[in-house]
Amino acid sequence: MPGQLNLQFPSPDNLHIVVAGSWLLADSLPSPDDIVLQLQSRSDIQRISFDGSAVTHWDSALLTFLARVYRLADDHRINIDPGGLPDGARRMMKLATAVPAEENTGKHSEHQPLLERIGERSLSMWRAAPEMLHFLGEVTLSFGRLFRGTAQFRRSDLMLVIEDVGPHALPIVSLISFLVGLIVAYMGAVQLAQFGAQIYIANLVSLGMTREMGALMTGIIMAGRTGAAFAAQLGTMQVNEEIDAFRTLGFNPIDFLVLPRILALVLMMPLLVLYAGIVGITAGMFVAVTVFDISSFEYYQQTLRSMEWTHIWVGVIKGTVYGILIAFAGCLRGMQCGRSAQAVGEATTSAVVTGILFIVIAASLLTILFQELGI
């Protein structure tokens, strides 16, 4: 016998739905339109109950019908009593209605207003500030434990990180520094040649690379190379729950993971800045000798006359500050990473952007500070 549907009213506020027969997809089944008409015409219905004792066979066809009834009841704020349904159907409907449908999923064609996006970004930055300060405090305490000799990290890990951020970074630092030295030399030479003062290319390149450009370009390189690597490494450890394992075993993850990375970058950045300055000066010499017929000895002597230890120390100090900021940004975003592959990518991107932003701000403030101090 194909599926049958009968509507009864044991009381004015109770709609009793009797289903019987075979409710299979292959059968000719009744439509729930009668139920829709009853709910629209009678506003006093407060409860819907079922009687499925006469159902012989059923599959998803019955479940589809019941799902439609459940949605109608929800739209009209009517209570459902599934007690009379077959046991399997009752359990399936309980699972289907256990978690409400997520409404904010999928793609939406409407665009978010600009002011709303600005407001959300501002609130996100406001909420991120306490997390950043908390992380800064933990790093400060970790350095305090380092000075007291109680920090928990392996010296071998520190040496491995030093090797990665130092010697392994020399090729890219060499290439970028040489090209920047070429650019500075050519830009200066175009103007100096108007006055026959090409010899001062040595002054321009040596001061620019040693005091400013060497540290700045090395910082940007390390932000994209090392800061991103720190964030990706720590983010992947977050995804694999390795950092939670450190805490469970009694190890402080800040001491064990963050401290060696910050130390390595602080130790290597001054050396990389000095190396970048030397490579940039060499590039300037290449331009002066090959294009403007200045001998290498003249260039060397002019460089020595223009250089002072003050300029070298200014570049080293800036490089050290940039190293601290890059390591802080990379480790911060890595420790804040979520538990998915997408979160690791977002943490890596955020580490690079944050590191470069910190570098630009620090470069501006330090330049103004040294200028006011007459250094």
29-38, 72-81, 147-156, 289-298 — which is least confidently predicted? 29-38
Give the separation between CA 158 and CA 162, rounded to whole angstroms: 6
Please provide the CATH number assigned to the domain covering 4-96.
3.30.750.24
Give the type of residue at 346.
Answer: E
> In Å, what is the CA distance from 37 to each residue of 6, 32, 133?
14, 9, 62
In the chain, domain spans: 4-96, 136-373
Q: pTM score, two decimals? A: 0.67
**Section 117-128 average pLDDT:** 79
Q: What is the pLDDT of residue 149?
A: 85
Confidence of residue 141 (pLDDT cuts 50, 70, 90): very high
Could you give the C-alpha distances from 116 to 109, 120, 123, 317, 346, in angstroms and in order? 16, 6, 11, 41, 21
Q: Exposed, middle or buried: residue 241 (CB in 10 Å: 0-12, 13-18, 19+)? A: exposed
pLDDT for the residue numbered 106? 53
pLDDT band at 99 (very low <50, low <70, confident <90, very high): low
pLDDT tens-digit series, residues 233-243: 999 999 888 98
pLDDT for residue 109 is more than 60:
no
| Mean pLDDT of the region 342-350 | 90
More confident residue, 293 or 252: 252
pLDDT over 70 (residue 108):
no
pLDDT digits (tens, 9 = 90+) for 248-264: 888 888 989 999 999 99
| Structure confidence by residue, pLDDT tens digits, 211-227 | 889 999 999 999 999 99
Report the pLDDT value the prediction gives residue 104, as an integer from 0 to 100: 56
Question: Residue 231, exposed/middle/buried by CB under 10 A (0-12, 13-18, 19+)?
Answer: buried
Give Cα 253 to chain centroid, integer Å: 19
Nearest to 136 by CA among 373, 329, 346, 313: 329
CA distance 362 to 370: 12
